[in-house]
Amino acid sequence: MSDKTPLISVIVPVYNGRAFLHQCLDAIFASNHPAFEVIVVDDCSTDESADLSRKKGAMVISTPKRSGPASARNLGAEKASGELLMFIDADVVVTRDTLGKVVEHFVRQPDLAALFGSYDDEPAEQNFLSQYKNLQHHFIHQTSRSEAFTFWSGLGAMRSEVFLKFEGFDSQKFAVPSIEDIDLGFRIHRAGYRIVLDRNIQAKHLKKWEIVSHLRTEVFCRALPWSRLILESQGLKNDMNVKNSDRLSAVLVGISLLLLPFIVWQPLLALVAACCIVALIVLNRRILSFYARKRGILFALMTIPWQMLYFLYSGAVFVMCWFLYKLPRVIRLKAGFEGNCL
């Protein structure tokens, strides 16, 4: 990286983001960092996202067809001039010093390949699910290791040379919003590059979560591809949202639910199920205490069934993926081994 202030290219993918895009762009353009460009990649929006971006002063690129954020970010990176690429979601509002903090990391650490931050603890939307979802994200990032094994593109930066070397996000595998950033980060980390999570780089999330959109995203766009990535990669580190405590929590939820139908015939099983729930609460006492500090005891109690649901579908999807993808491979390997022994 050159001695002069490095140019950072801020890439914002958007699809029908008129409701919040102006706040995102206003915050970026208010940055106190002297050298940056803003590239908005419009993914065939049917609203005024592209026109709004041009009026704000951003370079606007349009995808030829609806392609998803992975492809949109890749297109923005192709047009970028900066030594650093900064990815910011269109519903994220940064602070004035965000770009400066990011650039400082890369200047001070020549071996740093990528960096990301987290949502702050003051979500914009006030409904319960939005508060719960965003505070959960904040807690996970704030309690994870600074030396990360993955990447987050909601508020993340990467050296352009590294991004191009790994051919960016896998837009073929991830044509819809999914874990394309996690996949890219894992590929980079596996190759020996450093990725850092800076807990002090935080931004406000404007998204409003509803029950249907939340569950659809969590199960089909997160849990399913996450499980496949874990199985393909022979496991991931005990960090982020794949901590050992999370895995054990999923087992406890599964056991307690499996016992419920048999309680009628064997009432003592209710005690076992209750012990599983108590153990689950103990395992998750840190995040429950965090919820209580931020939003009160009632809010924390309301999150318990949602935490249980989170562990339930995460565990169930992982088991399903194991049977679909891992078990057939194990059977084939065993059959091949036995064949060689004949």
Confidence of residue 341 (pLDDT cuts 50, 70, 90): very low
Tokens representing residue 40 in the block: 């908005």
Tokens representing residue 276 in the block: 């599983």
Alpha carbon distance 15, 223 (integer Å): 23
pLDDT recorded at residue 340: 42
Confidence of residue 253 (pLDDT cuts 50, 70, 90): very high
184-193: pLDDT as tens digits: 999 999 999 9
pLDDT recorded at residue 244: 84
53-106: pLDDT as tens digits: 999 999 999 999 999 999 999 999 999 999 999 999 999 999 999 999 999 999
Dihedral, CA atoms, 97, 103, 108, 114, nearest 10 degrees?
120
Mean pLDDT throughout 123-140?
A: 96
Q: Which CATH superfamily is domain 8-209 in?
A: Spore Coat Polysaccharide Biosynthesis Protein SpsA; Chain A (3.90.550.10)
Question: Please, which residues have CB within 8 angstroms of residue 117's CB and are 6 or more apart in sequence?
Answer: 98, 141, 152, 155, 156, 197, 198, 199, 200, 201, 202, 203
pLDDT recorded at residue 296: 97
Tokens representing residue 299 in the block: 């809010």
Predicted TM-score (pTM) of the model is 0.90
Alpha carbon distance 217, 208 (integer Å): 13
Alpha carbon distance 272, 169 (integer Å): 45
Please give the residue that has the higher pLDDT: either 5 or 60.
Answer: 60
pLDDT recorded at residue 338: 42
Alpha carbon distance 209, 103 (integer Å): 32
Alpha carbon distance 118, 203 (integer Å): 7
Residue ranges per structural domain of the chain: 8-209, 240-341
pLDDT recorded at residue 333: 46
pLDDT recorded at residue 267: 87
| pLDDT over threshold 90, residue 4 | no
